[in-house]
């Protein structure tokens, strides 16, 4: 599974390799960077796995702001491989996929998709307009902090659409980002060591007692 993770690190979501040269020093630097990313990926998802369990009672009678998730059974986790929508429909699966994308430096894709899902549910015209502008400044405009990879024509169309925002302002961009995740990040997530561990059924050991 480590080979799959290294492929994830090499994905075009990260542009670090493009800026590096082909000298021996550059190769060594890239190798160290990939080993660091692989270690960070394992740490992030191991932490997520260890801290995801049945929700406990909040301390001091106050509701915890941190969302907790119930770890799925191996059968439930295996359903995620049947369709990308199955993964996104699971709270645990979605959170795990976000952690995976963060390890690939592509978390802006799922964050944009989720922002669009929330945007489409907005009824108030005023809130629709303000949310549209926030999504545009966060994800669409040039050098946005979480800029997604879409073509110039789509960006231009969105810039025009948000002047009179409707629930369909980001439909084209959302579909493209969804397709990108489904065809690239999702297959690698299914190959990841983290996901494979979730799908493993606990081994039942039988011990023979000497008489």
Q: Which residue has the tokens 């979730």?
A: 198
DSSP state of 72: P
Give the C-alpha separation, 94 to 100, whole Å.
Answer: 10
Sketch the domain layout of the chain as residue ranges: 70-199
Q: Which of 152, 156, 151 is nearest to 169 (CA)?
A: 156
The predicted structure's pLDDT at residue 71: 87
Burial of 78 (0-12, 13-18, 19+ CB in 10 A): middle
Mean pLDDT by groups of 10 residues along the chain of 211 residues: 40 43 57 56 55 42 55 94 96 95 93 97 94 97 95 95 94 96 96 92 60 46
Structure confidence by residue, pLDDT tens digits, 109-159: 999 999 999 999 999 999 999 999 999 999 999 999 999 999 999 999 999
- Closest to 37 measured CA to CA, from 81, 85, 2, 77: 2
- Burial profile 155-184: b = 16 or more Cβ within 10 angstroms, e = fewer: bebbeebbeebeeebbebbbebbbebbeeb
Identify whether the C-beta of residue 131 lies closer than 8 Å to the C-beta of residue 105: no
pLDDT at 201: 84
Cα gap 141→167, rounded to integer Å? 19
User: Dihedral (C-alpha) 50, 51, 54, 56: value to the nearest 10 degrees?
Assistant: 140
Q: Please give the C-alpha separations between residue 166 and each of 132, 136, 155, 178, in angstroms, as whole numbers.
A: 9, 13, 16, 20
Q: pTM score > 0.75 for this model?
A: no
According to the CATH classification, is domain 70-199 in 3.30.428.10? no
pLDDT at 26: 57
pLDDT of residue 35: 54
What is the pLDDT at residue 68? Answer: 62
Q: Which pair of tokens denotes residue 136?
A: 């545009």
Closest listed residue to residue 95, CA positions, set 38, 49, 39, 54: 49
Per-residue model confidence (pLDDT) at position 199: 93
């Amino acid at each position: 599974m480590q080979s799959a993770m290294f492929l994830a690190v090499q994905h075009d979501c990260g542009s670090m390799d493009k800026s590096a040269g082909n000298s021996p020093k550059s190769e060594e630097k890239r190798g160290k960077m990939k080993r660091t990313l692989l270690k960070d990926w394992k740490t992030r998802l191991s932490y997520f796995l260890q801290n995801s369990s049945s929700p406990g009672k909040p301390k001091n009678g106050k509701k915890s702001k941190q969302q907790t998730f119930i770890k799925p059974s191996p059968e439930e986790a295996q359903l995620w491989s049947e369709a990308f929508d199955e993964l996104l429909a699971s709270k645990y699966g979605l959170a795990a996929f976000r952690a995976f994308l963060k390890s690939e430096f592509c978390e802006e894709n799922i964050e944009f998709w989720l922002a669009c899902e929330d945007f489409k549910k907005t009824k108030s015209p005023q809130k629709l307009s303000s949310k549209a502008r926030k999504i545009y400044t966060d994800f669409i405009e040039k050098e946005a902090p979480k800029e997604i990879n879409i073509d110039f024509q789509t960006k231009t169309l969105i810039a025009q659409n948000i002047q009179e925002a409707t629930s369909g302002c980001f439909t084209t961009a959302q579909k493209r980002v969804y397709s990108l995740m489904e065809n690239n990040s999702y297959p690698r997530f299914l190959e990841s060591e983290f996901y494979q561990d979730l799908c493993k059924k606990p081994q039942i050991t039988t011990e023979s007692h000497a008489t």
